[in-house]
Amino acid sequence: METIKIKEFLNFLQKDLAISATDLQLALRHPEQTLNLLPMILWQYGLITLNQLDQIFDWLQVH
């Protein structure tokens, strides 16, 4: 993912889905972390719902 897209993605997670910066930092510290896996890591940690996971995949598909 390019830098601008990464910033847009993280902004979407925080602004539209109300995922806290603390929760994002926790997921980003995951040893297998890549931005492609971030949605699944957030879901596995219970930081997002299945509905939010669907919204993330929809956003990623459009962008």
Q: Domain total for the chain? A: 1
Expressed as residue numbers, the domain containing 49 is: 3-62
- The percent of residues above 90 in pLDDT, for the chain, comes to 68
Q: What token pair was written down for 40?
A: 């699944």
Q: What is the mean pLDDT of the chain?
A: 90
Q: So what's the pLDDT on residue 21?
A: 94
The pTM of the full predicted model, rounded to 2 decimals, is: 0.85
Long-range (24+ apart) CB contacts under 8 A made by 18-23 are 19/47, 19/48, 19/52, 23/47
Give the model confidence (pLDDT) of 9-35 as tens digits. 999 999 999 999 999 998 888 776 677
Q: How far is 61 from 39, CA to CA, in rounded Å?
A: 13
Query: Are 47 and 26 contacting, i.e. CB atoms less than 8 angstroms apart?
Result: yes
